[in-house]
Structure 1
Amino acid sequence: MASKRVTQETFDAAVRENIQEFDMGPEEAVKEAVEQFESQGVDLSNIVKMAPKVSADGPQEATHDILQALDDLQKSVTHSRPQEVSAHLARFLEQCKLHKAYRFLAAQKGAYPVLLATWQLASAGDQDLLLQSLNALSALTDGQPDLLDTQGLQLLVTTLARNTNAAELTCSGIRCVRHACLKHEHNRQSLVKAGVLPLLTGAIVRHSCCAEVVREACWALRVMTFDDDIRVPFGHAHDHAKMIVQENGGLKVLIQAAKAFPDNPSVLSELCSTLSRLAVRNEFCQEVVDLGGLSVLVALLANCSDHQDLVKQVLSALRAIAGNDDVKDAIVRAGGTEPIVAAMTRHLTSPQVCEQSCAALCVLALRKPENSRVIVECGGALAALQAMKAHPQEAGVQALSSASTVHSPNPASSCLISCPLLFLHLSLLSIPFQGIWRRS
């Protein structure tokens, strides 16, 4: 794995040398430079792999388009020319969207303070410029959450609070929140303390007809429950999930939103995925059932079986809420086992769906002999075996398929079984068989 790095200036110098000293064309010069550095084990993931362009000011002014756009933007902001700022922001945004290397280079050259100044200029009342500023900042912070400082975090929350009725601004602001919090525990905690959670749940309620806002808000809520920052010993993921549910009615908000988008699989996938991230306590799982969430999930699994990603997220949500023993029984009584098995059978080629299906069956059968019997009767054991055969190299599928077949009051040995199909039926049917298999 490459571990060495070079600066953009070093890479550009190598490209210029190839052009000037070896008479190569720009594309050939870049290709040769890439091969040269990669052969030395250099990581070029954050390098703009294009020949810098020569401006009209002279050959010594060779630069990249994104840096030229940034320079023009800074000049227009300094002279407070809103129309020019808008045009340069559009150019800068397009460059940021090309690749993360462009964003990385712009950040190195001071793009964040310039965008912050643009943002503050637009906050005076220019809604269009404010939207452009948020879009540009969102693009720049994608993969670079460290850029957003305390001033930016406060301005972000203030902007969201002042523009709650503007769907586009809300969507862009929430996207900034998501980018700022991904793999950044400090930003998560700071934004939560600043009051971002009610703004996120409120956006789902207020813009319940806007699919894009609901999607972004769900994604941002999920990020708040992540524990993905390796720089901190532990995060506040569980605490944030509790705050979303207990203080902001997160479960009710999500379930009501799901009812508003019956024909939008992408939005429903986001809602179900977020629901599974919030079911972190026994009482939260029961609350999902009490709010009618279980009926919604079972109906989605039965009626939207063609949409693979939605099926996967519904299974994940069922798996999460089944952590409550009473909810296990409620899922079985609601007829949830049949659509789970049907989903695994229908999407047998998808390791993700198979894994989630087996995981859901595994949780339903845990400490529940009667549920195990129901799973066997609806073909769950055979479906799990077929999943194992279809994905022999997928460790998750193998482990969960096996686990979904061995929950019994009298568990057998964990050693390899020579007759797996018989073992599946015996274990799921909860037949005592300590004398059949030797314990390890």
Structure 2
Amino acid sequence: MEKHSNHQLCLQYCCWALKNLSLNEANKKKIAASRAPRLIVDALRNYPGHAGIVEEACGCIRKLVWGNADNQNRIAQEGGIEAIINGMTMHVSKASVQQQCGLALGDLAWSNESNQARIGRSGGIPPIIAGMHAHPTHSGTQGGLALGNLASLCVANRKIIAHAGGIPAICKSMKTNLQYPGVQEYGCWALRHLALDPDCKAIAIREGAPQIIRQGMQEYPNRAGVQEQGNCALKNLLG
């Protein structure tokens, strides 16, 4: 990647290789301790218009940061959050890119209040919602997981999501994608945290969120995640 920093296809496949190598925990530690995080972010930053680089770099970032606070912070320090957002905004029409970018932001935000706030300040929330609107029936681009993670600890993000139209987008997503239990679970996850804000709670109730949540729970009575998140969301909305 260092020797061929001007060769876009090389960078794409290097990110792809690192992503797959990161499936092994020992490899993941070696990659994280090397220059790789900086090189991945550099590729993403230097070629935001190359869909393949954006998709594979975000996929690699996801593997590196999932459940690892040190790696979350390392990617953020390298400027990865801003690079992901820039790449995401340039490929709204490509569902696979939207999926990987949105999930990467969500994974960077997981249980990390600093990253949540940085994503919100950097304008990362509207692109997630734009991806939901652009691909309404693509389960992978429905941003419930990312929006829920972003709203879980950062109070300011709840208001940003509301102002960006995120609550109607989540409700529409759940109604449109009833056949996908993951969309129902993560939609409830997002609404659960958004309902902690009084203004967000009022918007969600106005959008019919309680009925939408109940419909998902009725559709998947044996899906533990749907039931758990649905009950938590209803408690926060109606309590």
One of 143, 146, 155 as aligned partner of 1:274: 146
Other-structure match for 1:122: 4
Letter in 2 for 1:140: L
Other-structure match for 1:251: 125
Matched, 1:131 2:15: no
Q: What SS does the corresponding residue of 2:137 show, helix, strand or coil?
A: coil
Identity %: 20
Any conservation in 2 of the 1:316–1:360 contact (CA below 8 Å)? yes
Question: CA separation in 1, counterparts of 2:223 and 2:70?
Answer: 36
Matched, 1:152 2:25: no
Letter in 2 for 1:132: Y
Question: CA separation in 1, counterparts of 2:72 and 2:106?
Answer: 11
Q: Which has the higher contact order (CA 8 A, sep 6+)?
A: 2
- Pairwise mapping of residues 264-303 of structure 1 onto structure 2 (< 5 A)? 264-268=138-142, 271-279=143-151, 280-303=153-176
Q: What SS does the corresponding residue of 2:35 show, helix, strand or coil?
A: helix
Change (3 A) 1:319 1:202: same
Higher-Rg member (1/2): 1
Any conservation in 2 of the 1:203–1:214 contact (CA below 8 Å)? no
Other-structure match for 2:86: 202
State the shift of 1:178 in Å: 2.1
Letter in 2 for 1:242: A
Any conservation in 2 of the 1:160–1:199 contact (CA below 8 Å)? yes
State the shift of 1:275 in Å: 0.5
Question: CA separation in 2, counterparts of 1:265 and 1:318?
Answer: 17
Any conservation in 1 of the 2:22–2:28 contact (CA below 8 Å)? yes
What's the CA shift string for 1:207-266, capped at 9, x where partnerless? Answer: 111122111112221221235xxxxxxxxx1011000001x1122221122111112122
What's the CA shift string for 1:91-150, capped at 9, x where partnerless? Answer: xxxxxxxxxxxxxxxxxxxxxxxxxxxx33333x43333333222222222233211235
Other-structure match for 1:212: 96
- Pairwise mapping of residues 30-429 of structure 1 onto structure 2 (< 5 A)? 119-123=1-5, 125-142=6-23, 143=25, 144-148=27-31, 149-227=33-111, 237-246=112-121, 248-268=122-142, 271-279=143-151, 280-366=153-239
Task: Calculate the TM-score normalised by the size of structure 1.
Answer: 0.50
How many pairs were matched up?
235
State the shift of 1:168 in Å: 0.8
Unaligned runs of 5+ in 1: 1-118, 228-236, 367-440
Question: CA separation in 1, counterparts of 2:184 and 2:233?
Answer: 12
Q: CA RMSD in A?
A: 1.9
Question: CA separation in 2, counterparts of 1:298 and 1:183?
Answer: 28
Question: CA separation in 2, counterparts of 1:298 and 1:132?
Answer: 37
Question: CA separation in 2, counterparts of 1:249 and 1:290?
Answer: 12
Any conservation in 1 of the 2:91–2:98 contact (CA below 8 Å)? yes
Change (3 A) 1:205 1:332: same
Change (3 A) 1:282 1:154: closer
Change (3 A) 1:361 1:136: same
Any conservation in 2 of the 1:219–1:274 contact (CA below 8 Å)? yes
Question: CA separation in 2, counterparts of 1:132 and 1:249?
Answer: 28
Change (3 A) 1:185 1:355: closer
The answer to which structure has the higher helix fraction is 2
Q: What SS does the corresponding residue of 1:122 show, helix, strand or coil?
A: coil
Unaligned runs of 5+ in 2: none
Change (3 A) 1:342 1:200: same
